[in-house]
Chains A and B, each alone.
Chain A
Amino acid sequence: MALVALDISARDMYCAIAGGFGVDASCRHSFYDDFSDLDAWDVAQGNWRIDKGQLCGGPGEGRTFKDLSADDYVISINSATLGQGNGYGVFFRATNTPRFNGYSFQYDPGYRGGAFIIRKWIKGREIWPPFAVARARGYDWWQTPRQIRLSVKGNTFAVDVDGQQVLRATDDTYAQGGIGLRTWDRTTVCFDDLSVDTIP
């Protein structure tokens, strides 16, 4: 009761103790998932499953979300491997799921010969054309584990793939919201270890 009054959650208490010993990675982040299960995710559509400690999706249109009441943050995916198909997406600042508003970064070999893009979503519809496109013809899109880092701060979004910035864009439409993952068409993809760190 006293902890509730002080706005201290059980997780905060646990992390205060576990963090002191450095034993739980989830305590270092606002959100962390090692994909031992799907419990943290709200699967809105598609074929999502846990496979050998990874979250795998596809084929077909798939969307899964994690609600966050946050505005500025960094999404880090330790490893994302596109097995086949036209690409995968990472949603950010998504609200009102599943008929959601928000953005997606897309690792998208299917877009005009291959590109990294960011697009807006309105009431569950993907807005065409994407407002940020970095074309990357000849990029090694498939079967290669990629480290993805997506920084969302104010109206500016920046994406690093394997430590190299591939895209930077601005948009003012949406100010806050959660994260998510997307597949479409023939895509199969697996993600390993995802974390979100809020930016003060």
Chain B
Amino acid sequence: MPLEDSPSLEEYTQGIPPQPTERSATRRWVWMAIGVFTLLVTVLGGVNLQHSTAFTFFAGTGTVVGRVVDEAGGPLQTYVFVLGTDLEAQTDANGRFVLNDVPTGSQVIVVAYLGIGREYPVAVNAGSTTDMEQIQFASTRGP
């Protein structure tokens, strides 16, 4: 601060002059609003990123394998989907399937046979293979 702008001693004869409270309060509110807005943008951006393919790319993917059998334990040739994605596979003659590039986290595998589907939850870890082992599929329309 230049010397000429410094307060003179006369200004302190009645004690310390009052602070310009109104202006600083306004400024405080502005900064608070900016802070809240920044926080909001960060949170919403994070949520958006979590649902994006970029997040899947960074979070990684895993592989899900398994074997679908009928109620008698014989291999079943079915379609297998990952709910909410375009991932799809068919079981081979032994009922085995492999689903690659499955997004990590909690997923639902859908086994479909003769117009019926059944859901099977699975946890997928990045870079690893989750073996659902044997999935016994009831092809009758029963509960």
Q: What is the interface of chain A, defined by CB distance below 8 A to chain B?
A: 112, 121-129, 133, 173
Contacts and interface: CB of A to CB of B under 8 A. Distances in A.
Given A127-B118, A128-B118, A173-B83, A122 B143 contact: no
Contacts of B118: 127-128
Contact of A128 (B79, B81, B142): B142
A49 B142 CA distance: 31
Contact of B119 (A112, A124, A127): A127
Counting chain A CB atoms within 10 Å of each CB, which of B79, B88, B110, B138 scores highest?
B110
Given A128-B117, A128-B118, A123 B141 contact: no
Q: How large is the interface on B (under 10, 10 to 19, 20 to 34, 35 or more residues)?
A: 10 to 19
A106 B117 CA distance: 17
A129 B117 contact: no
Contact of B83 (A122, A126, A133): A122
B89 interface: no
A168 B81 CA distance: 28
B143 A125 contact: no
Contacts of A125: 110, 112, 115-117
Contact of A126 (B81, B88, B115): B115
Contacts of B138: 128
Nearest to A131: B119
